[in-house]
Amino acid sequence: MSSVSERSEIDAEYKWDLESIYATDDDWEDAYEAVAERVDELEAYEGRATESAETLLETLELRDEIMREVSTVAAYARMRRDEDTTNQQYQALTARSQSLAADARSAASFIDPEIQTLTREEFDAMVEAVPALETYDHYVDDVLRMKPHTRSAEVEELLADLSEVTGATGEVYQMLSNADMTFPTVEDPQGDSVEITQSNFTNLLKRPDRDFRRRVYEGYFDEWESVRNTVAASYKNSVKADVKTARARNYDTAREAALDGPNVPAAVYDTLVDTVHDNIDELHRHAELKRRALDVDELEMWDLYMPLTGDEGPDLEYDRATEHVVEALAPLGETYQSRVAEGLDSQWVDVYENEGKQSGAYSGGTYDTQPFILLNYQHDISSMYTLAHELGHSMHSELTTDEQPYIYSNYEIFVAEVASTVNEALLTNHLLETVDDPEFRKHVLNEFLERVRSTLYRQTLFAEFEHEAHRLEEDGEPLTADRLDDLYRGLKEDYYEPAAIDDRIAREWMRIPHFYRAFYVYQYATGISAALAIVDDVLENGESAAEDYLDFLQRGSREYPLELLRIAGVDMSSSEPIDRALETYGDRLSEFESLLD
């Protein structure tokens, strides 16, 4: 019987060190109470935040102090919950911290509207009077930019209060998919029962036995079918919340609202979709190559995750994976490389899957803590790439914290996904240059192709789905389970034309948690495009290009995303980086075609 370990069975060295934040839950309680009492201090500044330069500085610094403390309290609670999503105690702590964060946002909600009563010239005069305000120059520029979409202080407070409610559908979905849903066990070719989980599902679809893959695929999606109406209702209301919030802020569409936050033009989104569709034949070629490699008459959806090599790939222990990752980062300089190595030795990473653990992977932590990485390591090459990916996020945070004040520490996802994918691309280059084992090299090449397929093409498909779902809601069309299935199925047919599209794959939208953060996923696709361009530059031009890239990482959110990427030498307002990425993808496909021939 293949089963998932209890958390108590995992060695401490493979668990993250949350005690470095709070030694005990009692310490968390003390921190929670202390910051909860401080939230009310902001009331003294309401209605007078801009009466003088000194008062404005006091207001902003107090707000930042409180938000820093709240973010640490919330991060600890969430990460404790994610260790075991069925743990009622940490579910409660998470709920309390989320309420506290909503209260803090509500208490501070008067600040932006009051700043927007200033002109740019008036703020510049304040900076002249109190030079310390210069720290907030870009922040104030962004606040003034958003004036047409900021409501009165009363409405802003109401919207802040409602954020806990409007975001509740995502939490309901997480509880359903991670804590309440139970997937079946499937007998493998050796006669062992294998438990399907959210974390191991795609890994099981890489097993060489095709009938086993089919049974895993059917069992997994049949479980989703059993909650189909619940998930449809959850997502429908998430979309409604996006649309109504956008309208409350005077936006025509939810997409416009989402992209305007980081100041990314809608044309960037459209250029991505158009460029991917212009190169959709390369994805079709990949699907056909996979059919040939697997020697099947027709590529089925349960074949899609199978490597072109036709087997599961080499077993890769976590400790060896960390060595590969650290070695691969050498082009970014010894300081960057050694800092990653130190982090891995300092329990940044919660490595292995355990019962009830949050599925997937992420990089967490706050301005005042070390980074923390949640993994569900599966002893394969893909998991090694996931580690490299999350370390990119963690190092971005570390370098930003070193150089920037708190106000600029929460960089936009648009640039965050560049940092993570640069690490992946460097890992690919390193492995292809240093590993002699031909079978291992085939799997690395396959991993690159799968990463582009799943990151550039698949995330663009997702971006099209959520754009259309929001458009339907905005046009007053009902978002039923059938309508969502039909929409998703149509996109799957366009993207995977050579393969068989069955009824179960039409439900795949139900398993994508990122849809509860609207218009998020397209940034994976733009991120990999920018990252491949940066890595090409670093490998070609060496130290100078690496320094430009590290400068980009150290800027945090002190500038707008497109401006930041220009520091690293990439112009995402054009299709050029996307075209370059897809050209590299095509070249790698040709390499594998030659191996197959």
Question: 349-352 and 372-377 as β-strands: parallel, antiparallel, unpaired?
Answer: parallel
Displacement of CA 549 from its chain's centroid (Å): 20
- In 3D, which of 597, 309, 592 has the Cα closest to residue 440? 309
pLDDT of residue 3: 72
pTM score, whole prediction:
0.85
Residue 193 CB partners (closer than 8 Å, separation 6+): 1, 2, 185, 186, 187
Grade residue 178 by pLDDT with cuts at 50, 70 and 90: confident
Is pLDDT at 596 greater than 80 in this prediction?
no
Going from the N-terminus, what domains does the chain have, and what CATH number goes with each?
19-166 (1.20.140.70)
The DSSP bridge pattern shows strands 193-195 and 185-187 to be: antiparallel
Task: Name residue, tokens 């310390």.
Answer: 132
* pLDDT at residue number 163: 79
Helix (H, G, I), strand (E, B) or coil at 186: strand
Contact between residue 301 and residue 507 where contact means Cβ atoms under 8 Å apart: no
- Look at residue 565 and tell me whether its pLDDT is greater than 50: yes
**Three-class secondary structure of residue 376 per DSSP:** strand
Rounded distance, CA 226 to CA 556, Å? 43
pLDDT computed for residue 420 by the predictor? 93
- pLDDT the model gives residue 593: 85
What one-character-per-residue DSSP string does 404-439 give? Answer: S-GGG-S--HHHHHHHHHHHHHHHHHHHHHH---HH
CA–CA separation, 287 and 501 (whole Å): 12
d(CA 446, CA 456): 15
* 151-160, 246-255, 261-270, 298-307: least confident range: 151-160
- Rg of the chain taking only CA atoms, in angstroms: 24
Res 1 pLDDT > 60: no
Q: Which DSSP symbol is given to 7?
A: G
Q: CA 2, CA 196: separation in Å to the nearest integer?
A: 10
Which ranges constitute the DSSP H helices of 249-368?
A: 254-260, 266-278, 280-294, 318-328, 334-344
Q: Which residue has the higher pLDDT, 560 or 3?
A: 560
- Judged by average pLDDT, the poorest of 43-47, 99-103, 422-426, 434-438 is 434-438
With a CB cutoff of 8 Å and minimum separation 6, the contacts of 396 are: 411, 416, 419, 420, 553
The tens digit of pLDDT for each residue in 350-364 reads 999 999 999 889 999
Cα(584)–Cα(597) distance, integer angstroms: 20
451 vs 294: CA distance, rounded Å:
19
Task: Report the distance separating Cα 25 and Cα 533, nearest Å.
Answer: 45
Closest by Cα among 207, 386, 210 to 296: 210
Question: Rounded to an integer, what is the distance from CA 215 to the centroid of its chain?
Answer: 30
pLDDT digits (tens, 9 = 90+) for 387-416: 999 999 999 999 999 999 999 999 888 999
Long-range contacts of 535-538 (CB under 8 A, 24+ apart): 535/422, 535/425, 535/426, 535/429, 536/580, 537/569, 538/331, 538/332, 538/426
The rounded distance, in Å, linking the Cα atoms of 33 and 223 is 42
Report which DSSP code applies to 183: P
Instruction: Identify the band that residue 255 occupies on the pLDDT scale cut at 50, 70 and 90.
Output: very high
Looking at every residue in the chain, the average pLDDT score rounds to 94
| Strand ordering across the sheet containing 349-352 | 349-352, 372-377, 362-364
Catalytic residue positions, numbered: 390
At a CB cut-off of 8 Å and minimum separation 6, what does 225 contact? 504, 507
Closest CA to 496 of 314, 309, 301: 301
> 187: which strand partners?
193
pLDDT value at residue 153: 76
Q: What percent of the chain has pLDDT over 70?
A: 99
Q: State the average pLDDT over residues 415-431.
A: 94
Question: How confident is the model over 35-51, as a mean pLDDT?
Answer: 96
C-alpha span between 529 and 269 (Å, rounded): 13
